[in-house]
Amino acid sequence: MSDAASDVLRKLTIVFTEFEGRLEQTHLIRKLTRGRFELADYQAFLIQLRQQVKDGALWMSRAASNIDEAHLELRSALMRHAVTEHRDFRLLEADFIASGGDATIIRSAEKNVGSEALSAWMFHEASKPNPFGLLGAMWIIEGLGSIKAQEWGRRVKDTLALPDEAVRFLLYHGENDAAHIEEFKDMLAMVLPDDAVAARIVKTAQVTARLYALQIEEILP
Amino acid sequence: MSDLRDGYIVGTGVFLPGEPVGNDAMEDHLGRIAGRDSLFGKKALRWNGVESRHYAMRPDGSVTHTLAQMSAEAVRTALDAAGLERRDLSMLASAATQGDYLVPGHASAVHAELGAGALEVASFQSVCGSSLMAAKSAWLAVRAGEHDVAAACAGEFSSRWFRPSFYEGTALVDAKGRLRAEADFLRFTLSDGAGAIVVEPKPRPGALKINFIDIVSLADRFDPCMWAGAPVETRADMASAWAHVGPRAAHEAGAMALLQDFELLKKVIRAWVGAYLQKVDEGRIVPAEVDHCLVHYSAKSLRAEIVSLLENTAGMVPEEKWFSVLREVGNVGSASIWVMLDRLVRSRRVQPGQKILCVVPESGRALVGFMMLEAV
C-alpha cells in the first residue's frame, strides 16, 4: 500500500475515533448506553436515519455522474454502491412499523437541523466535478454501518425487548470490517497519490462527521 | 528561569511476592465464590494469555506483604540498581489502583516502609496509567531542578479484592451462586507486585533518557469502563458512589468490587488506537524509529482487525519488536510497565541509541499514556 494511502487512512481513522467519541457524548447515545433508551427515542432515531439512508444512494449516484472518463473504475464502484443501498431505507421503514410506528409518520417526517445540513452538504459536494472528497464521507457513514450499527442494534433490542424484525437495519446492515477496509483501499488507490485530493478526503470526512453528530444531537437536544 | 535539565532513568526495580502461581492453582488460591468453579475463568485466561502470576495473599487469607512493603521493596531495588543509597532520594511519587488505606495517600505509606529521612512525596491513584502519572511527576521534578534523585513506584495488591467474601452476599452473585462476568473476568486477569524507577539529571552507562511522557484522558466521552465504588447499572451517576449510602449498603449492592464493562472496552480500545495514531500523525511517535515496544497489553489479545488497521495506517510497530512479560508474571496493573522495562533492561537487549516506546492504556475511564525512552 502506498504511503499516501496510509497517511489518508491514518487521518481518517483519527477522524472516526473522534467522531465516535462525540457520538458517545450525545444525549441520545448516552441514554442508549446507560440503559435508559425508550421506544420514542428509537423511533425518532429511525426517522432521521431514514432520510439520510435514502439520500445516501442518491448523492452517490450524483457523484458518479460527475466523475470523468479517467476514473471509470471509481465511477463503477460508486454506482455499485448506490445500487446496493438505494432500497435500504425501505428496511428502515419496516423496522419502524414493526416497532409499532405508523408508516405515514416516518414517510412524511421532517428532517431535523442536522439531517438538513448533512443532506445539503452531501449533494453540494456530489455536484462538483470529480468529487473525490466524498470518499471521506463514505468512510464515516460506512464506518458507522460496520462498527456501530450492530452494537447499537443489540443495545436497542435488549433495552426495549423488541423482536429482531424491528431492528433489522441495525442488526444486519453492518458488513464485516476487513472487507470494508479492503474495498476502501482499492478506491483510494484510484485517486491517490494527490496531495490536494488527500486533503479534501480528510476534510470531507471531518465535515460529514460533524454534521452527522449534529443530526444525532438534534434528535434529543 | 533556569534551563530545563534532561531526566534519565538510572535504575529499575521489581518486587513480586511469593512463588509463581500457575493457572491450575489459581482458583484454589483465590477461593471459589459460593464454592463453585468460575464460569469465565478459562475463557479469561485464554483471552489474557497469562500462565503464571504472584499473590501477596495466601489461600487462608493471611498477607505476606502489604502493598506499601512491595512498593518500598521495588524502590530499594531500583536505588540499588542505580548505585544509590536511600539517603540520596529526595522525592518519591507513588502509583496504585488501590492503596492499603483509603486515606492518606499511598506515597506516605511507601515512605514509612522505606525510611530514607524527610522526602517530598506525591500519591497518584488511577488504574494502570497511574504509573506514568507518577513517573511524569518524578521526571518533571528532576527536569525543573527541584530534585536530583526522584523515584516513581507503582504497585498493586489486587488479589485481596478477589476473595469470595468481596462478592458473596452481594448483588453481583445470583441465586445460583454465579458471579457476574464484569467481576469474574478481572479475578483471572490481575495479580500482585510492584515496580519502580529512579530518575536523575545525569546519564550513566545504560541509563534511559526520558524523551517525553504524554498522558491522554478521553473521560469526557465514555462512562467508567473499569471501576470500583458504584453498582454496574448506575455507575455513570456520581450520586450512586459507595460513600453516599455507606459501606455496608454499598457492599450489598455490589458497589465495592472491582468491575469491568467488556462491551464498553471495545469502544475504548478504538479510542486508544485513535489517540495513538494522533501521536503518529503529529510526528510525536515515529513507528519506524522504535526499537523496543512495551505495550501494557498482549499483542496476542489485540484483535486481528486492530493489527490490520495499524498496518494500514502506517502505525504498527512490527510484532518482533514487542517485548512482553505478561505470560510469565501476569497483569500487575500499574506495575506492569516497570516490570516489563526492568526485564527488558536486564535482558541486555537494549543498545545505546535505541528507542523504547512504552504504551500504557487504562480502561478505567479511557486513558492512555505514552513514554519514549532513548538508551544512552
Burial state string for A192-204 with b = 16 or more CB within 10 A and e = fewer than 16:
beeeebbebbbeb
pLDDT at B308: 87
State how far residue A167 is from chain B, nearest Cα, in angstroms.
19
Output the pLDDT for position A178. 62
Sign of CA dihedral B273, B275, B276, B281: positive
> Which residues 162-221 of chain A have a CB within 8 Å of chain B?
177-178, 181, 185
Partner residue facing B274 (CB), from A3, A17, A25: A17
Which pLDDT belongs to residue A116? Answer: 97
Place of cell 515512605: B111
Q: Radius of gyration over alpha carbons of chain A, in Å?
A: 17
User: How many CB atoms lie under 10 A from the CB of residue A121?
Assistant: 18
* B306 contacts chain A (CB < 8 A): no
| Residue B300: predicted pLDDT | 67
For the question of whether the overall pTM of this predicted structure is more than 0.85, the answer is: yes
Say yes or no for a CB contact (<8 Å) between A14 and B277.
Answer: yes
Q: All 3 cell numbers of residue B373?
A: 525512552
Handedness of CA B6, B11, B16, B19 (dihedral sign): positive
CA distance A42 to A162: 11
Across the interface, whether the CB atoms of A20 and B263 are under 8 A apart is answered: no
Location of C-alpha cell 515496580: B195
Residue B259: in which H helix or E strand, if any? Answer: strand B259-260
Residue with cell 489518508: A8
Q: At what angle do helices B304-312 and A3-24 cross, to 10 degrees?
A: 130
Determine how many CB atoms are found less than 10 A away from the CB of residue B190. 27
A&B contacts, CB < 8 Å = 66
Cβ distance of A17 and B275 shorter than 8 Å:
yes
Grouping H, G, I as helix, E, B as strand and the rest as coil, residue A21 is helix
- To probe the interface with A, which of B235, B240, B267 has the most A CB atoms within 10 Å? B267
Residues of chain B falling short of pLDDT 70: 1, 298-300
**What pLDDT shows up at residue B299?**
61
Which tens digits make up the pLDDT trace of A170-205?
998 766 556 778 889 999 999 999 999 999 999 999
Distance of CA A159 to the CA centre of its chain: 23
Return the pLDDT at A175: 61
Residues of chain A short of pLDDT 50, as ranges, are none
